[in-house]
A and B are shown apart, each in its own frame.
Chain A
Amino acid sequence: EAGVAQSPRYKIIEKRQSVAFWCNPISGHATLYWYQQILGQGPKLLIQFQNNGVVDDSQLPKDRFSAERLKGVDSTLKIQPAKLEDSAVYLCASSLAGFEQYFGPGTRLTVT
């Protein structure tokens, strides 16, 4: 069974630029999550989708971050414009019944 796929794996941009990350969850997993992991910390939930609907986006900085999951499968997370403090690893995870989340390899973003 293929795992959670993410791309790109690495991205370097200048502040005020925009960037997008893509995630394809494990086949059949209805729930998809985006996390932000700052160096030295545990992952922090940004947004949770159930199929193509948003369940929880309470910690998403909506003035600059947006995410969509139009067909209930893959998802895109966008940052526009990026700030220096957005430098982090962005992790995508998916789950079948909600209890056990499986993570992708992440995208390491560096904002200069």
Chain B
Amino acid sequence: GQQLNQSPQSMFIQEGEDVSMNCTSSSIFNTWLWYKQDPGEGPVLLIALYKAGELTSNGRLTAQFGITRKDSFLNISASIPSDVGIYFCAGQLGGNKLVFGAGTILRVKS
């Protein structure tokens, strides 16, 4: 089946630093979504991307839909302690089915 490869698996950064993570696949997706999950909670939608090449921002977060439609990137600028959590990318196939990556664990040192 389809697989999404997220990298890095985890990162430990200094407060105030910028963060980059990405998601790649061998399959083409129609939509890319980025979610954040806090411990004991469900994933929360951060950004949705609908067109190849699209660049979308949500506050300090910026995400891009790769031109090949097989990858996506998420950047967080000036990280703060509440950015801690697990970030998931998800690619959407036909029929609205989502395939999730394994997540990037973000830890911020204050």
Residues of A within 8 A of B (CB): 4, 31, 33, 40-45, 48, 55-56, 91, 93, 95, 98-106, 108
Interface residue tally for chain B (C-beta within 8 Å):
23
Contact of A41 among B33, B98, B102 (CB under 8 A): B102
CB closest residue in chain A, given B9: A40
Shortest Cβ distance from residue B33 to the other chain A in the assembled complex, whole angstroms: 7
B12-37 vs A, CB cutoff 8 Å, 1 = contact: the mask equals 00000000000000000001010100
Interface residues of B (CB under 8 A from A): 4, 31, 33, 35, 40-45, 48, 50, 88, 90, 92, 95-98, 100-103
Which residues of A are found within 8 Å of B88, using beta-carbon distances? 42-43
A106 to chain B, nearest CB (A): 5
| Pairwise interchain contact A105-B48, C-beta atoms closer than 8 A | no
Decide: B96 and A44 in contact? CB cutoff 8 A: no
Out of B42, B44, B102, name the residue touching A42 (CB < 8 Å).
Answer: B102
Q: Are B50 and A99 in contact (CB under 8 A)?
A: yes
Q: Are A101 and B50 in contact, CB atoms less than 8 angstroms apart?
A: no
Q: CA of A101 to CA of B41 in the docked complex: distance in angstroms?
A: 15
Given contacts A42-B88, A42-B103, contact A101 B42 (CB under 8 A): no
Contact of B44 among A41, A44, A103 (CB under 8 A): A103
User: Which residue of the partner chain, among A91, A104, A105, contacts B40 with CB atoms under 8 Å?
Assistant: A105
A42-B103, A101-B98 given; 5 more Cβ-contact pairs under 8 Å: A33-B98, A43-B98, A45-B98, A95-B96, A99-B96
Q: A43's contact among B31, B45, B48, B100, by CB below 8 Å, is which?
A: B100
